[in-house]
A and B are shown apart, each in its own frame.
Chain A
């Protein structure tokens, strides 16, 4: 029988999270990725606070500092964090997939070294996948790992690496086989960022600072103990990462929040809007709900162990396009204020401006909307 009521544990979790956010995140906070270093400090502090309350690694097993919470609490956490501009900063990555794949593929020693600091909310990671010649076609990657005494030497270049300038560790894909071996010649390394052979160059971009960087590796070193899984067996791990990331960020949650805030935030101006725009606003509310329900159906299927990845792709198409559609509606609502106010009093206007800029990348980052259409389309071709 249909049941869309939230269970009591999840309701309480939302309350607790909103309480913590209200206490420790400034009202005009728009995330860690700004030019103000204090914004990153706020995120780090918030992660530690979540860690203390055992809310950070909520769904991890208790053995690794988690609370073994179920998929619906995880969903609520994902929603609340994204709705409030991801006050965990870059750390969601460590939590959502880096930690879990280390649990699955790491040695006992790796688990003991890497998992507890992640669970305590103490460490920023970055993801070194994409390269200049390897975007959608990830198996074309060229960054090379060469065996040396006691470890591996890394040479090459990564690009679009989010938060590379903030991160102390990188989850790095490198070629250990021939270039032609494609998926069969890739290995995963957990590499320390603070070393002479690694240089991070920020890429100035419309989506804001920290989001995209180049990372150059020239004789960087990673010790044998930090190879994750077996040599040339990295693709299996990448597939696992993609499976863990299938639901992705809860973009619809911020859409719901900004759309709901609009009438009060606009005040008198709400009365001035044309009916056709309020009509688009109402339709966007419906579309946000619809997308959220698609996410829930993916979570439910995953919970029952019968998720078809193509259905996750369908949700991702809906979710990323929603983000952009809502961004257009909100920008139309705020009008000229959407071009930037520089005034912290105008929190809503700034949030809309920020949302629009970031939404432009929604259909590119973490796999383009076209790649998702390919995955979904393929399912319909009869064998």
Chain B
């Protein structure tokens, strides 16, 4: 058992983090909000020289881990750019987009002019038939309208990879949100004390730590799993990781807002940036409840690996019930 990623991966993550920090860190998200069209060139200039697009995560596990650490470092600075989607690109494409199967047809970063592959959370291939402009509202500064055609019989390569890498990006955001909240509660004084010295604050923060540590361990396992298991297991595991990431996002960002008081709603605090700009990934391609239902469907069909494995089909259900 080894739950640490390779040194190469850690080093790349550090390099990605330093490059983004040198360009302003989380302030880049503010800059991109004002000028979303700039993000392609800016990110190319930052990450291109690090050789990040030469990483081939499907080739070996070291490269897979490097890709994941790059996404985590980018998330840790709220880099609003489809780094996971590009690192998970299938052969012959620039990037892969996860698209919804119900409700409004929109996707994060779909405005960018890339040669996109597309897929659903269930793993089916999709075709982008239209890419519209950015919605541009508070919670959707980087979310664009799309049209798609879904092919339910055609599995799309690398779906489990993009789901997993997006979760690593979210992990980065949540780790940073926790760190910032700990910092803030250590500084802010009320009743003549730092608010972190109140037991209520510590208990709330301890729930956040548990959520983040749990997600971090699951993220590492899932990465290993998709490197070592066939597609059907890998897909179930990736969706399970997404569910965990969405749950953690609830816990971490809700507590982050609460413990920042009114300050947390001001655009100048980073917590408001994390909260707003992570919305796209939290609601799309499917939100928390739908992701959980899809997880149940996939486990019923593909099985589940654990100390007491569930065989494929063993938990199958014939019809939807209420």
The contact of B210 among A280, A292, A314, by CB within 8 Å, is: A314
For residue B139, CB closer than 8 A to chain A, the reply is no
Take A1-B6, A257-B308, A264-B314 as given contacts and tell me if A380 and B214 are in contact as well, using a CB distance cutoff of 8 Å. no
Residues of chain B with a CB closer than 8 A to A290's CB: 214-215, 217-218, 244
Residues of chain A with a CB closer than 8 A to B318's CB: 271
Q: Which single residue of chain A is at the shortest CB-CB distance from B305?
A: A289
Take A1-B2, A83-B308, A382-B186 as given contacts and tell me if A286 and B206 are in contact as well, using a CB distance cutoff of 8 Å. no
Interface centre among A4, A296, A318 (most CB of B within 10 A): A4
A99 CA to B317 CA in the complex, in Å? Answer: 49
Identify which of residues 78-125 in chain A touch chain B, using a CB-to-CB cut-off of 8 Å. 79, 83
Identify which of residues 290-315 in chain B touch chain A, using a CB-to-CB cut-off of 8 Å. 292-293, 295-296, 299-300, 304, 306-310, 314-315
A4 CA to B227 CA in the complex, in Å? Answer: 11
> Which of A139-147, A168-176, A334-342, A369-377 lines the interface with chain B?
A369-377
Please list the residues of chain B having a beta carbon within 8 angstroms of any beta carbon in chain A: 1-6, 61-62, 65, 182, 185-186, 194, 196-197, 199, 201-203, 205-207, 209-210, 213-215, 217-218, 220-221, 223-225, 227-228, 240, 243-244, 289, 292-293, 295-296, 299-300, 304, 306-310, 314-315, 317-322
Secondary structure call for the B interface: helix
A314 CA to B292 CA in the complex, in Å? Answer: 24
Nearest Cβ in chain B — how far from A329, in angstroms?
Answer: 12
Asked if residues B293 and A294 are in contact (CB atoms below 8 Å), the reply is: no
Asked if residues A4 and B218 are in contact (CB atoms below 8 Å), the reply is: no
A299 CA to B97 CA in the complex, in Å? Answer: 38
Nearest Cβ in chain B — how far from A117, in angstroms?
Answer: 31
The contact of A278 among B196, B227, B296, by CB within 8 Å, is: B296
Residues of chain A with a CB closer than 8 A to B243's CB: 283, 286
Take A273-B321, A300-B3 as given contacts and tell me if A263 and B310 are in contact as well, using a CB distance cutoff of 8 Å. yes
Take A300-B2, A311-B213 as given contacts and tell me if A317 and B296 are in contact as well, using a CB distance cutoff of 8 Å. no
Asked if residues A286 and B244 are in contact (CB atoms below 8 Å), the reply is: yes
Q: Which single residue of chain B is at the shortest CB-CB distance from A264?
A: B314
Asked if residues A374 and B186 are in contact (CB atoms below 8 Å), the reply is: no
Nearest Cβ in chain A — how far from B190, in angstroms?
Answer: 15
The contact of B61 among A1, A280, A311, by CB within 8 Å, is: A1
Residues of chain B with a CB closer than 8 A to A157's CB: none
Q: Which single residue of chain B is at the shortest CB-CB distance from A311?
A: B213
Asked if residues B240 and A286 are in contact (CB atoms below 8 Å), the reply is: yes
Asked if residues B61 and A260 are in contact (CB atoms below 8 Å), the reply is: no
Residues of chain B with a CB closer than 8 A to A274's CB: 321-322
Asked if residues A291 and B214 are in contact (CB atoms below 8 Å), the reply is: yes
Asked if residues A285 and B306 are in contact (CB atoms below 8 Å), the reply is: yes
Nearest Cβ in chain A — how far from B147, in angstroms?
Answer: 29
Using an 8 Å CB-CB cutoff, how does the interface string of A231-272 with B read, 1 for contact, 0 for none?
000000000000000000000010011001111100000111
22 A-B pairs whose Cβ atoms sit less than 8 Å apart in the complex: A1-B65, A2-B61, A2-B223, A4-B1, A253-B307, A278-B317, A279-B293, A285-B304, A286-B240, A289-B221, A314-B209, A314-B210, A317-B207, A318-B213, A372-B206, A373-B207, A376-B206, A380-B182, A380-B185, A380-B186, A380-B202, A381-B186
Nearest Cβ in chain A — how far from B100, in angstroms?
Answer: 18
Nearest Cβ in chain B — how far from A266, in angstroms?
Answer: 10
A370 CA to B213 CA in the complex, in Å? Answer: 18
Leading 5 A-B pairs by shortest Cβ distance:
A377-B202, A282-B296, A293-B217, A260-B308, A263-B315
Asked if residues B321 and A378 are in contact (CB atoms below 8 Å), the reply is: no
Asked if residues A373 and B202 are in contact (CB atoms below 8 Å), the reply is: yes
A253 CA to B308 CA in the complex, in Å? Answer: 9
Identify which of residues 331-381 in chain A touch chain B, using a CB-to-CB cut-off of 8 Å. 370, 372-374, 376-378, 380-381
Nearest Cβ in chain A — how far from B273, in angstroms?
Answer: 22
Using an 8 Å CB-CB cutoff, how does the interface string of A68-81 with B read, 1 for contact, 0 for none?
00001000000100
A171 CA to B26 CA in the complex, in Å? Answer: 55
Please list the residues of chain A having a beta carbon within 8 angstroms of any beta carbon in chain B: 1-7, 72, 79, 83, 253, 256-257, 260-264, 270-276, 278-283, 285-294, 296-297, 299-300, 311, 313-315, 317-318, 370, 372-374, 376-378, 380-382
A272 CA to B185 CA in the complex, in Å? Answer: 48
Take A274-B322, A281-B296 as given contacts and tell me if A294 and B310 are in contact as well, using a CB distance cutoff of 8 Å. no
Q: Which single residue of chain B is at the shortest CB-CB distance from A263?
A: B315
A270 CA to B321 CA in the complex, in Å? Answer: 11
Asked if residues A275 and B3 are in contact (CB atoms below 8 Å), the reply is: no
Asked if residues B307 and A2 are in contact (CB atoms below 8 Å), the reply is: no
**15 additional contacts, CB 8 Å, given A1-B6, A270-B315, A314-B206?**
A1-B5, A2-B221, A72-B1, A260-B310, A263-B310, A273-B321, A278-B296, A279-B296, A288-B306, A296-B1, A300-B2, A372-B206, A376-B202, A376-B206, A381-B202
A202 CA to B300 CA in the complex, in Å? Answer: 45
A288 CA to B240 CA in the complex, in Å? Answer: 11
The contact of A317 among B182, B210, B218, B315, by CB within 8 Å, is: B210
Nearest Cβ in chain B — how far from A330, in angstroms?
Answer: 14
Residues of chain B with a CB closer than 8 A to A264's CB: 314
Residues of chain A with a CB closer than 8 A to B307's CB: 79, 83, 253, 256-257, 292
Interface centre among A1, A83, A382 (most CB of B within 10 A): A1
Asked if residues A373 and B203 are in contact (CB atoms below 8 Å), the reply is: yes
Asked if residues A289 and B186 are in contact (CB atoms below 8 Å), the reply is: no
Asked if residues A260 and B304 are in contact (CB atoms below 8 Å), the reply is: yes
A27 CA to B210 CA in the complex, in Å? Answer: 36
A276 CA to B317 CA in the complex, in Å? Answer: 13
Interface centre among B5, B213, B220 (most CB of A within 10 A): B213
The contact of A374 among B182, B202, B210, by CB within 8 Å, is: B202
Nearest Cβ in chain A — how far from B104, in angstroms?
Answer: 22
Residues of chain A with a CB closer than 8 A to B62's CB: 1
A125 CA to B296 CA in the complex, in Å? Answer: 43
A286 CA to B310 CA in the complex, in Å? Answer: 13
Residues of chain B with a CB closer than 8 A to A257's CB: 307-308
Residues of chain B with a CB closer than 8 A to A253's CB: 307
A300 CA to B6 CA in the complex, in Å? Answer: 16
Q: Which single residue of chain A is at the shortest CB-CB distance from B216?
A: A297
The contact of A282 among B1, B292, B321, by CB within 8 Å, is: B292
Asked if residues B296 and A294 are in contact (CB atoms below 8 Å), the reply is: no
Asked if residues B240 and A297 are in contact (CB atoms below 8 Å), the reply is: no
A287 CA to B241 CA in the complex, in Å? Answer: 10
